[in-house]
Amino acid sequence: MNQEAQQISRWRAAFAESGPAPDPASCPTPETLWAAVRGELPAEPMREVVDHVAACSACAEDWRLAAELNRQEERAAMVPGKVIPGRFG
């Protein structure tokens, strides 16, 4: 068995050990996920979202996308706007 096949075999075993995927009905709403990514949730709801995301691959992907969008938004807010030199009086 080549190295790639061994790696795939290890991943399959790790996924099998992680247990069944959560019920999609238990997934947090997009608004809740977005608030969690931005750090706007109280401690207990945040813990519930993080625990869910750790077990749900679909929500983990949503989290990654939301986190990237949040980083881009924060970077855009730090970029100074175009300043037109002149006299304002």
- Say what the pLDDT of residue 80 is: 66
pLDDT of 1-35, one tens digit each?
Answer: 687 788 778 777 766 666 666 777 889 999 999 99
pLDDT of 43-83, one tens digit each?
Answer: 999 999 999 999 898 999 999 999 999 998 888 877 666 65
DSSP string, 31-51: HHHHHHHTT-S-HHHHHHHHH
83: left (phi over 0), alpha (psi -120 to 50) or beta: beta
39: left (phi over 0), alpha (psi -120 to 50) or beta: left
Q: Which amino acid is at 55?
A: A
| Look-up of token digits 């050990």 | 17
Q: Rounded to whole angstroms, how far apart are CA atoms 46 and 53? A: 10
